[in-house]
């Protein structure tokens, strides 16, 4: 299965400093992004790029190369252009957080791209017109231009937060913690219902409504198998204590 993060392309157009390409690769990898696309860089990645990529040399090595932006965007359903100057073109303008949420949603079932311009001159109007929306980091209006790789870092971070915030995303589960299965969740909910009875939580109210609300809370938490084991351990202890309270003579 393709992760949503792998449907997100970071496209650098006409980059002038090879070091920035390396730093951008590092910024991406720290946030779980891998798809770097270079459009006509002024200088090809070199030793300086490698040095600044540090452990992200794999992202750099796998970077795609294109001669123009249009071909780099082939197959993308959603394209956002990052611009240091606000309201330069007649495109809807989003802040990084809004952009990241929209991209994370669109990446569920299609390829999407975040496009970054040249260090000196940014993106041309023609290039911006290939984008569906503009993204502006609301920086100091008197000094709003971030270093290219710093801008990539801000956007990559917001994309990661958006992906982590989607309870159903693979990213949220993390490696090695398989999401709890339907059966495991139902086992947990069954034990939770028994425990609520045992501790007299409902006090004559309808148990169904409390269970519906509790299910909603736990479903939002996207529990993995370990979480379910821990919660069931807590419930088992609560059940044991309730039995003891109901039968003070018992020692079990």
- The residues of the shown chain that bind ligand SAH, judged by CB under 6 A, are 82-85, 116-117, 119-123, 135-137, 139, 144-146, 148, 151
CB of 136 to ligand SAH, least distance (A): 5
Q: What burial class does residue 125 get, using C-beta atoms within 10 Å of its C-beta: 0-12 exposed, 13-18 middle, 19+ buried?
A: exposed
Rounded CA separation 188/190 (Å): 5
Task: Indicate the residue among 146 and 173 with the shorter CB distance to ligand SAH.
Answer: 146
CB of 73 to ligand SAH, least distance (A): 15
CB of 118 to ligand SAH, least distance (A): 6
Structure tokens at 212: 């519906």
Residue 104 CA: distances (Å) to CA of 86, 116, 162: 23, 18, 6
Task: Indicate the residue among 78 and 179 with the shorter CB distance to ligand SAH.
Answer: 78
Close Cβ partners of 205 (under 8 Å, ≥ 6 residues apart)? none
Rounded CA separation 6/104 (Å): 11
Q: What burial class does residue 203 get, using C-beta atoms within 10 Å of its C-beta: 0-12 exposed, 13-18 middle, 19+ buried?
A: exposed
The residues pairing with 11 across neighbouring beta strands, listed in sequence order, are 37, 115
CB of 177 to ligand SAH, least distance (A): 34
Task: Indicate the residue among 114 and 193 with the shorter CB distance to ligand SAH.
Answer: 114
Task: Indicate the residue among 133 and 239 with the shorter CB distance to ligand SAH.
Answer: 133
CB of 168 to ligand SAH, least distance (A): 29
Helix (H) / strand (E) containing 9 = strand 8-13
Task: Indicate the residue among 22 and 117 with the shorter CB distance to ligand SAH.
Answer: 117
């Amino acid at each position: 299965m393709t992760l949503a993060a792998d449907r997100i392309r970071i496209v650098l157009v006409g980059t002038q400093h090879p070091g920035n390409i390396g730093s951008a690769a590092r910024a991406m990898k720290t946030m779980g992004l891998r798809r770097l696309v270079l459009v006509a860089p002024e200088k090809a990645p070199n030793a300086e790029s490698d040095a600044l990529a540090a452990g992200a040399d794999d992202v750099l090595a796998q970077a795609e190369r294109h001669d123009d932006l249009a071909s780099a965007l082939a197959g993308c359903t959603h394209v956002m252009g990052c611009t240091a100057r606000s309201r330069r073109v007649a495109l809807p303008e989003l802040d990084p957080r809004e952009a990241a949420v929209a991209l994370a949603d669109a990446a569920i079932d299609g390829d999407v791209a975040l496009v970054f311009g040249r260090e000196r001159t940014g993106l041309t109007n023609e290039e911006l017109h290939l984008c569906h929306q503009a993204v502006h980091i609301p920086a100091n209006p008197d000094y709003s231009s971030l270093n290219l790789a710093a801008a990539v870092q801000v956007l990559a971070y917001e994309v990661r937060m958006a992906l982590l915030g989607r309870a159903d995303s693979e990213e949220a589960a993390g490696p090695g913690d398989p999401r709890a299965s339907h059966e495991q969740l139902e086992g947990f909910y069954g034990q939770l219902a028994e425990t609520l009875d045992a501790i007299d939580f409902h006090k004559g109210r309808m148990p169904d409504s409390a269970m519906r609300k509790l299910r909603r809370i736990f479903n939002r938490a996207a529990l993995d198998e370990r979480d379910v084991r821990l919660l069931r351990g807590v419930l088992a202890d609560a059940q044991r204590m309730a039995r003891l309270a109901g039968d003070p003579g018992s020692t079990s």
